[in-house]
Amino acid sequence: MTQKNALPPRIGIYPGTFDPITKGHLHIIQRASRMVDHLIVAIAENERKKPLFSTAQRLEMVRADIENMHEKFCPIEVESFEDLLINYAHSKGASFLFRGLRAVSDFEFEFQMTGMNAKLAPDIETIFLMASDKWQFISSSFIKEIASLGGNVADFVTPQVFEKLLKKFEINA
């Protein structure tokens, strides 16, 4: 028996710079993968942010971390984009954008961006996922700052990302 009215797959995008990816990002990815049929982790090629790692390095780190993720509830793809996020989402047939919120300070920026995205593409919903209390204080910016000053960030990133940070900052573990 075939289904005549099968629903199209629910595709979601979790965009970000992921410079570097943290355990907080991975937690959001895992949770978002429960809500869609296919998840795309989209790494922004935004040179204005002056990333520490190249796009190729960030793709490699995210792919390795996704591959090692214990619970994936749908297929997860990792790719980069440099287009307007809404245009990229339309090109992928996405219906959902996932955004992680750590603190109230994140909300104001995210609220404005969501409003603009809703005007540009009312067919795409933004879903906010609150960071777990375990990861609320972590940001890629903090990770880079602490690592650059010789601080230990091993608890906040996976071992492979930690190794890349040590190499980047020429730190001996």
Paired with 44 in beta bridges are: 81
User: What pLDDT sits at residue 133?
Assistant: 87
User: What pLDDT sits at residue 71?
Assistant: 86
pTM of the model: 0.92
% the chain with pLDDT above 70: 97
Check residues 1 and 3 and name the one with the higher pLDDT: 3
pLDDT in tens, 51-86: 999 999 999 999 999 998 888 899 999 999 999 999
pLDDT above 70: residue 3? no
Catalytic residues, by residue number, are 25, 49, 102, 140
E strand or H helix at 58, and its extent? helix 55-67
3-state secondary structure of 60: helix
pLDDT above 80: residue 4? no
User: What pLDDT sits at residue 2?
Assistant: 56
Cα(84)–Cα(24) distance, integer angstroms? 25
Residues near 15 by beta carbon (within 8 Å), at least 6 away in sequence: 42, 43, 44, 81, 85, 88, 97
* CATH superfamily of this structure's domain 11-133: HUPs (3.40.50.620)
Domain residue spans in the chain? Answer: 11-133
Check residues 1 and 39 and name the one with the higher pLDDT: 39
Arithmetic mean of pLDDT over the chain: 92
Confidence label for 111 from pLDDT (cuts 50, 70 and 90): confident
